[in-house]
Amino acid sequence: GVPIALHILFFQTVASPPSSNFLLLGPSGAGKTAFTTLLEAKSSLASNKSHSTHTSQQSTLVTVTLPPTVPTGSNRYRSVNDPSLKEAIRNPIKYRVKDTPGHGKLRASQGISELQTMSQSKDIKTRLRGVVFMVDTAALVDGATLRDTAAYLHDVLLFLQKRAKNGSSSKRTTEVPVLVAANKQDLFTALPPGAVKEKLEAEIDRIRKSKTKGLLDASADTELEDEEEILGNDEQEAFSFKLLEHEVGVKVDVVGGAVKGDLNEEFGSGVRRWEEWVGMCL
């Protein structure tokens, strides 16, 4: 009768297909492989399945589960008393993470082409839900690493900006959000997330400026080509993630965490806030 029908209805709303895709990008050494391995370990703990091991050399697509207590965007106000929590424990929400390996100069272009492939999917079930861009916050004090990291992030964001512009304005809600996962917060040499955000914004601003200057120099003796795009559009204003969200609709959050560290061995609590970000995308 009615209870069974209700149950079926409930099951259908809560269960999500294991096809919400997230792309994991970032310089090598940031902790991407460690992160996917941890997510898999956490998931297999929940389902009693063993997990595979992988290395930084292979591209991997892993299906992992969201901890039942992490709220999702479609189920934002889940409380401990909420019956949907019970359902989530019985039938955990799954999502997929694609890790992109690669070394040296290749890795950024590999990452971008992966981004291209995944974001082209028109099927709502397989489309890209979000990008996790991982950084080693202890390594960013080094100028060369900061420049390298910011250049990679710049290219990722410019791709997403172009993608946003090509879509119709009514599709704003389908923009792919970016999480800058400020990893290795367990190290005492790590920059706090706020400082990471400022450094990346300032460095991306520098990249934008030199790009604009290069374009001006080039256009002095040649005809102006198609307008080359500037990240965040507004060249007068200093670059910030806020500006990008305001001008283009691409949202960037910088959130601290740690894949390694005492608490992670059992509970993985150092990645909880990233999982919450993932949940909000679902």
Residues that bind ligand GDP (CB under 6 A): 26, 28-34, 56, 183-184, 186-187, 258-261
Q: Which is nearer to ligand GDP, 16 or 183 (CB)?
A: 183
C-beta of 72: minimal distance to ligand GDP in Å? 25
Q: Which is nearer to ligand GDP, 263 or 280 (CB)?
A: 263
C-beta of 23: minimal distance to ligand GDP in Å? 13
C-beta of 202: minimal distance to ligand GDP in Å? 23
Residue 93 near residue 22 (C-beta atoms within 8 A): no
Buried b / exposed e along 191-209 (16+ C-beta atoms within 10 A): bebeebbebbbebbbebbe
**Mutual orientation of helices 2-14 and 83-90 as an angle, nearest 10°?**
70
C-beta of 55: minimal distance to ligand GDP in Å? 8
Q: Which is nearer to ligand GDP, 42 or 184 (CB)?
A: 184
C-beta of 101: minimal distance to ligand GDP in Å? 7
Tokens (6 digits) for 193:
């997330």
Tokens (6 digits) for 24:
């994991």
List all residues 6 or more positions away from 206 whose beta carbon is below 8 Å from its beta carbon.
Answer: 150
Pairing of strands 94-99, 178-183: unpaired
Q: Which is nearer to ligand GDP, 33 or 65 (CB)?
A: 33
Rounded CA separation 266/227 (Å): 52
Residue 58: HSE in the Cβ half-sphere, 13 Å Cα cutoff? 9
Q: Which is nearer to ligand GDP, 182 or 248 (CB)?
A: 182
